[in-house]
């Protein structure tokens, strides 16, 4: 079985879905001849041609706006936005249209669109290249939000996202693109959207994370016994049951994300746990997050992102409580 990194796994998912379904098309800036700025679409233009791997003009709202029209017409576009910070000019199309076409047309038209975009820090990139705005999208009904954390899961989740009848924002942690390699099988396999996975079982503390923070958490729990780690994988709709079950078992929950704390997705998880599992909790739900600041440029980004030390501190605090 081939050892692939995240870029190669996503590329394989795209290739296999395009071979399987002629309605799948790719579009975005530089996705064709150049193979994408991160090379995620490498080789696809050569294999499928410029009608299916479409280099578009530089226009984010335009890319997503035409993707919506294509999706409504019956294709399954996979649009790439080069960095998630550049979805901001296209939020109108995502929020005003992609998310509500099914609703506005009472099911007559739908938007089976995937928006693929790298997100997150830790790569020493310029402004707006390291954003983590997943909560914005989770708040908008009509969109699904998927964040894989490994190459193997990225492939299965992307295939599910492409086959999903609703618009999916597929966030790819830039820091993970080439960080890890693992066995990624060729051929069809999927992971259902809306299901979390337990990465490590334990009885004392539950740590919840997604995307690149999952790996920070796995580093932090090294040497700690009986710590449960959950990879949420889909943020909207998220897997409440797996979360409740774990919280009831451990009684202690720490949520780790790199987005700012205020109104971050951790707030939603925390409130949900407070509503459903309050009486099982032995300590307050803790959040280890980015700060409520604009994502800093490289000189300060390591101070912004949650660290192994901050996660361990939270684990010590929650046990002592």
Partner 1 sequence: MPEKILESFEIRRLEILDPKGEVDESLMPSLSADEIKKMYELMILSRTFDQRAIDLQREGRLGTYASILGQEATQVGSAFTIQKSDWIFPSFREMGVYMTLGYPIHQLYQYWAGDERGLKAPEDLNIFPICVPIGTQMLHAAGAAMAAKYKRDPIVVITYFGDGATSEGDFHEAFNMAGVFKLPVVFICQNNHWAISLPRERQTAAKTLAQKAYAYGFEGIQLDGNDIFAVYKGTKDAIEKARRGEGPVFIECVTYRMSSHTTADDATRYRSKEEVEMWKLKDPILRLKLFMERKGLWTEPYQKEIEERSRQIIDEAVRVAESVEPPHPEDMFTYTYAKPTFRQLKQMEDF
Q: Exactly one of 15, 42, 86, 109 binds partner 1 (CB under 8 A); which one?
A: 109
**Min dist. Cβ of residue 33 to partner 1 (A):** 15
**Min dist. Cβ of residue 23 to partner 1 (A):** 9
d(CA 27, CA 41) in angstroms, rounded, equals: 10
Residues contacting residue 29 through CB under 8 Å, at least 6 positions apart = 55, 56, 57, 58, 63, 80, 82
Q: Does 194 bind partner 1 (CB under 8 A)?
A: yes
Render 232-297 in DSSP notation, one character per residue.
--EEET--HHHHHHHHHHHS-EEEEEEEESTT-HHHHHHHHHHHHHGGG-SS--EEEEE-SSPPPP
- Segment lying near partner 1 (by CB under 8 A), choices 12-20, 74-82, 220-228, 290-298: 74-82
d(CA 227, CA 35) in angstroms, rounded, equals: 41
- Segment lying near partner 1 (by CB under 8 A), choices 36-44, 139-147, 221-229, 242-250: 139-147
Pick between residue 5 and residue 67 the one whose CB is nearest to partner 1: 67
Q: Does 105 bind partner 1 (CB under 8 A)?
A: yes
Residues contacting residue 93 through CB under 8 Å, at least 6 positions apart = 61, 64, 65, 68
Pick between residue 97 and residue 155 the one whose CB is nearest to partner 1: 97
Q: Exactly one of 37, 66, 91, 267 binds partner 1 (CB under 8 A); which one?
A: 66
Cis peptide before 237 (omega within 30 of 0): yes
Site for partner 1 in 260-299 (CB under 8 A): none
In contact, 27 and 80? CB cutoff 8 Å: yes
Size, binding site for partner 1 by CB under 8 A: 47
Which pairs with CB-CB distance under 8 Å and at least 24 residues apart come from 101-108?
101/68, 101/72, 102/142, 102/166, 103/142
Angle (nearest 5°) at CA 165 between 164 and 167: 85
- Segment lying near partner 1 (by CB under 8 A), choices 6-14, 87-95, 176-184, 249-257: 87-95
Q: Exactly one of 21, 46, 92, 183 binds partner 1 (CB under 8 A); which one?
A: 92
- Segment lying near partner 1 (by CB under 8 A), choices 7-15, 207-215, 237-245, 282-290: 237-245
Site for partner 1 in 145-174 (CB under 8 A): 164-166
Render 141-178 in DSSP notation, one character per residue.
TT-EEE---SHHHHHHHHHHHHHSSS-EEEEEEGGGTT
Q: Exactly one of 74, 126, 192, 298 binds partner 1 (CB under 8 A); which one?
A: 74
Q: Does 72 bind partner 1 (CB under 8 A)?
A: yes
Please give the positions annotated as active site: 129
- Binding residues (CB under 8 A) for partner 1: these are 25, 51-52, 56-57, 59, 61-62, 64-75, 77, 89, 92-93, 96-97, 101-110, 141-142, 144, 164-166, 194, 236-237, 240-241
């Amino acid at each position: 079985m081939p050892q692939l990194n995240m870029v190669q796994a996503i590329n394989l998912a795209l290739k296999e879905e395009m071979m399987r379904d002629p309605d799948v098309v790719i579009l975005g800036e530089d996705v064709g001849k150049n193979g994408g700025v991160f090379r995620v679409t490498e080789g696809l233009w050569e294999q499928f041609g410029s009608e299916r791997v479409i280099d578009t003009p530089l226009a984010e709202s335009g890319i997503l706006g035409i993707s919506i029209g294509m999706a409504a017409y019956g294709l399954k576009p996979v649009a790439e936005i080069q960095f998630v910070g550049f979805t901001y000019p296209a939020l109108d199309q995502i929020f005003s249209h992609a998310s509500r076409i099914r609703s506005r047309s009472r099911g007559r038209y739908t938007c089976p669109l995937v928006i693929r975009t790298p997100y997150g820090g830790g790569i020493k990139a310029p402004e707006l290249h390291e954003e983590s705005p997943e909560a914005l999208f989770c708040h908008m009904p009509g969109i699904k939000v998927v964040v894989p954390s490994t190459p193997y899961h990225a492939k299965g989740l992307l295939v599910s996202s492409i086959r999903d009848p609703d618009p999916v924002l597929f966030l790819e942690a830039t820091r993970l693109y080439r960080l890890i390699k693992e066995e990624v099988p060729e051929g069809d396999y999927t992971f259902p959207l809306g299901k979390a996975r337990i990465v490590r079982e334990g009885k004392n503390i539950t740590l919840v994370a997604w995307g690149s923070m999952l790996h920070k958490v796995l580093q932090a729990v090294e040497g700690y016994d009986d710590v449960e780690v959950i990879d949420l994988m889909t943020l909207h709709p998220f897997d409440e049951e797996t979360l409740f079950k774990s919280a009831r078992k451990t009684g202690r929950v720490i949520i780790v994300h790199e987005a700012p704390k205020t109104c971050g997705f951790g707030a939603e998880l925390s409130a949900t746990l407070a509503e459903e599992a309050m009486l099982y909790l032995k300590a307050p739900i803790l959040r280890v997050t980015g700060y409520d600041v604009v994502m800093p440029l490289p000189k300060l980004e390591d101070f912004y992102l949650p660290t192994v030390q901050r996660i361990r501190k939270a684990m010590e605090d929650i046990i002592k409580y």
